[in-house]
Chains A and B, each alone.
Chain A
Amino acid sequence: MAFRQKHLLGIEPLHPDEITTVLDVAERYVDLNRQADKHSDALKGLTQINMFFENSTRTQSSFELAGKRLGADVMNMAMQASSIKKGETLIDTALTLNAMHPDLLVVRHPHSGAVDLLAQKVNCAVLNAGDGKHEHPTQALLDALTIRRAKGRLHRLNIAICGDIAHSRVARSNLMLLGKMENRVRLVGPPTLVPQQFREFGCEIYDDMAEGLKDVDVVMMLRLQKERMDGGFIPSEREYFYRYGLDADKLAHAKPDAIVMHPGPMNRGVEIDGTIADDINRSVIQEQVEMGVAVRMAAMDLLARNLKASREEANGVMV
């Protein structure tokens, strides 16, 4: 089985085979999670620390549940209320935690690259749960699993990622993953929110929803990240919804069996019409949440296997 990573910091360093491996392992955890006894011992005896320097409910609880179902000891640290406020640097925080011998460190941070920096300073496996506007690899993996299950494949699909690309780490991880798996990715949104540089990654860029959604297999909506905006990206939410919000009329341009995705949390009536989000024939938004737990279990399982292997190797050398 091919998965050689020490950390999961992003999609960028992953080989397509590694992506497939994560998804295959995750499939098994989807089955496990649907049983009455959802427990496995894959992470038994290991300690998982969730460090969230940015608010999160969904991702954090998904990681927490994933760890608990695999038998790890899980600790959540609300970093916003902690020593960061007292002036401790990120690296000092990392070293402090490292001294507690965690095995898996799940980190979210408001600055791009912060998780990479932290990973250099600790000797456990680090999972990036979102760093600034850079990457959110488990989100892209869970989206990939959702697409693969709904479409039966993860290649040669037309996929539109719509909305606030500029502020979105989800978009970056997704377009990289979908590109690696040989899909055609379109980015659709107002030019103030869609960096034109993404053309150089092989994406097609549209500022018109009807054109952008024409004949796509997957419509991925993104949340308008108002908290990251310093003003002036769009004139108003109502105009945004009128021009870029996903409603039945705009969705009609996509293929009849196109699925609708959203990483959540949704702004209903801003980027997506409530009836589309709730349409069980089109929307796979609830499925995404389910896949999230399974993918995170798979990622932590695979990283823990590599961690154990490297420790055994180190011990072997000592003997």
Chain B
Amino acid sequence: MTIFTNARLIDPETQTDTLGWLRVEGDVIAESGAGTPPMGETVDCGGKCLAPGIVDLGVKVSEPGERHKESFASAGRAAAAGGVTTIVTRPDTLSAIDTPEVLEFVQRRAASDAIIKVKHLSALTKGREGREMVEIGFMRDAGAVAFTDCDHVIENTKVLQRALTYAKSCGALVIGHPQEPGLSKGAAATSGKFAALRGLPAVSPMAERMGLDRDLTLIEMTGVSYHFDQITTARALPALERAKQNGFDVTAGVSIHHLTLNELDVGDYRTFFKVKPPLRSEDDRLAMVEAVASGLIDVISSMHTPQDEESKRLPFEEAASGAVGLETLLPAALRLYHAGQLTLPELFRAMALNPAKRLGLASGRLTEGAPADLVLFDPDAPFVLDRFKLRSKSKNTPFDGARMQGIVKGTWVDGMRVFDG
């Protein structure tokens, strides 16, 4: 039994931010309250924030295939240090996670190496090639929590329609990447003044809405449960809002990079800022922040994508996309808190409660009986990020050298301390 005393409890379910204590019994949260805490072994939180551990939906761990970029061991350490207690891994590995056998392999690797909880996404089509659906039933039985081809948009609408119809019959959640593939082909930036100035191949932000519109139509046709991995443009929001109002089982996420950076951050072709979809305008960024605050966008993810130095030390067009984010998700998100745009309970609704609920996990809350997955952090403590101190094997963060606030003091998974900051 452990009692966390003198804590600022961030409860995303009740949307409260109050001083109090929280008692953990074994691996679950037993009770919490204000006033005098019960007797027992205590952790004095010193008035800092105690929140449910982050559930990060859409993390790339480069096993199998590219373990030099990120392993379950290194990703686990990075997650623990970032206050992330559950990572939900992407299937865009080499090779793709598209059979129960490969899934079993990564589950075994995760169980033996990662110090935090790991859930796995499965590919939706074999090899993420958009031709034949995977064994959705078997994969569900084997533990896949949702199905996605990640950034490979299934171009053949008939294939997608069948996959969604079949997924619906299995009760499976499908995750899609809203993007019109023809328009976005080869694009390295969002079309606009900046891309024109830099001479970069660019995609209109409208390509996202076109992809979204198609997928929403198929959701209406099939009734499938669907989550959009990243909504990043203001013009896509009205359609999403309508779909939710019409009662479709649809949710949406956004990456932390699209909430805290804009296209101008690319500057002189800095490839660590090359992500997919490309960074957007400042207007779009602000619209996304507002959409998270209103709850229209449900989930904030790190979209952790490790890339080695070689794949980033290239001309911008040729450089690989993606940024690591497990350790920077919380401090970057706290920028929005310090800017007065989101409250801490709102942030943890999007980073813990909503992703857990969407995937049917019991974590992500401070409620009695929930797993004791917790993060203790000082939201104000300042630091300058040094990418070489990151625990990820890959160091491709856009926040290198950035002044940030928010230091994780401790992370607990099922009541066990996995990080001491």
Contacts and interface: CB of A to CB of B under 8 A. Distances in A.
A169 B268 contact: no
Interface stretch (B191-199, B229-237, B320-328): B191-199
B199 A109 contact: no
Given A112-B269, A197-B192, A117 B197 contact: no
B199 A132 contact: yes
Given A89-B310, A89-B314, A90-B315, A116 B268 contact: yes
Interface string B317-354: 11000000000000000000000000000000000000
Given A109-B315, A112-B315, A112-B317, A117 B269 contact: yes
A114 interface: yes
Interface in B260-291: 268-269
Given A112-B269, A201-B193, A172 B315 contact: no
A89 B309 CA distance: 12
A227 interface: no
Interface in A85-108: 89-91
Q: Summarize B's interface: helix, strand, loop or mixed.
A: loop
Interface residues of A, number: 23
Contacts of A208: none
A197 B315 contact: no
B200 interface: yes
A89 B313 CA distance: 9
Interface string B168-201: 0000000000000000000000011101111111
Contacts of A12: 197
A113 to B, nearest CB: 3
A132 B269 contact: no
Interface string A111-122: 111101100000
Interface in A198-242: 198, 200-201
A197 B195 contact: yes
A198 B196 contact: yes
A102 to B, nearest CB: 20
Nearest to A115: B315
Given A90-B314, A111-B317, A197 B196 contact: yes
A164 interface: no
Contacts of A131: 199
A195 B195 CA distance: 10
A218 to B, nearest CB: 22
B147 interface: no
Contacts of B318: 111
Contacts of B193: 197, 200-201
A134 interface: yes
Contact of A114 (B195, B196, B197, B315): B315
A111 B196 contact: no
Which A-B residue pairs are the 5 nearest by beta carbons?
A134-B199, A113-B269, A133-B199, A111-B315, A114-B315
29 contacts: A12-B197, A89-B313, A89-B314, A91-B313, A109-B315, A111-B315, A111-B318, A112-B199, A112-B200, A112-B269, A112-B315, A112-B317, A113-B200, A113-B268, A116-B268, A116-B269, A117-B314, A132-B199, A133-B199, A134-B198, A135-B199, A169-B199, A172-B196, A197-B191, A197-B192, A197-B193, A197-B196, A201-B196, A201-B197
